[in-house]
Amino acid sequence: MAKKKLQHFAENKTFPHYFESTFAQISESGSNMRGNWKSLFFANSGKLIVEIGCGKGEYTIGQAKRFGNNNFIGVDIKGARIWRGAKTIEEEGMKNAAFIRSQAGLLHLWFAESEVDEIWITFPDPQPGSRKNKRLTSPRYLSMFKKFLKPEGIVHLKTDSSELFDYTIEMIGENNLRVVERVDDIYGTITEGPLCEIRTFYESMWLAEGKTIMYVAFQIDNLLQ
């Protein structure tokens, strides 16, 4: 298994749609792609949509296939997981998708002010108990997202964790943020469309276990940094 991971890490670096930098390389002025994703890589004016904690990239790839006029970037710290999505891009010749290996807390070094149209957070670690400040919908992360999300840009959360979902709704209320859409039970409410037709590996697993999948989309313009 370790050998296969090393092979995947090595192959990732051969893909033109895979990006990785050390903190030392980008800490001062950010990645050279920062502010240049549409001009230097995608070469179009479509929306830029970022998935945080993309895993194997099922959601990034699924959205890129369905919405060909937009551009999608999946982000995860685990390169072995990203490899599957990056390999699919290579095999299918996709032009509107890419992957970044990075910690979520460094994304302001990868994207410039108002560069990103939407953020997707799909089935993140709910960080239970006292680890609330590590949640991707905590004020700590939302403040960072605001640095590169466009005004009126949207944050999407899709989760099986009622604890995380309730916490996010609480954060939305406390910060007077605007809810764009809320679905408390996707598969008990919606029968067609990308929200229920594009699934991650973990989503399929949670559904098989009978878990309820929840979704909320909201804007963070009113968030005080």
Active site residues: 125
| Beta strand extents in the chain (DSSP E only) | 18-20, 48-52, 71-76, 97-101, 116-122, 149-159, 178-183, 214-219
Place of tokens 């804007």: 219
Question: Long-range CB contacts (< 8 A, 24+ apart) of 127-131?
Answer: 127/164, 128/163
DSSP 9-21: HHHHTT-TTEEE-
Residues 161, 127: contact at Cβ < 8 Å?
no
Dmax over CA atoms of the chain, in Å, equals 49
Instruction: Measure the CA–CA gap between 85 and 100, rounded to whole angstroms.
Output: 11
Query: Dihedral (C-alpha) 70, 101, 213, 172: value to the nearest 10 degrees?
Result: -80
Which amino acid belongs to residue 83? W
Best CA proximity match to 161, nearest among 136, 141, 140 = 136
- Tell me whether residue 183 is exposed, middle or buried, using C-beta atoms within 10 angstroms of its C-beta: 0 to 12, 13 to 18, 19 or more: middle
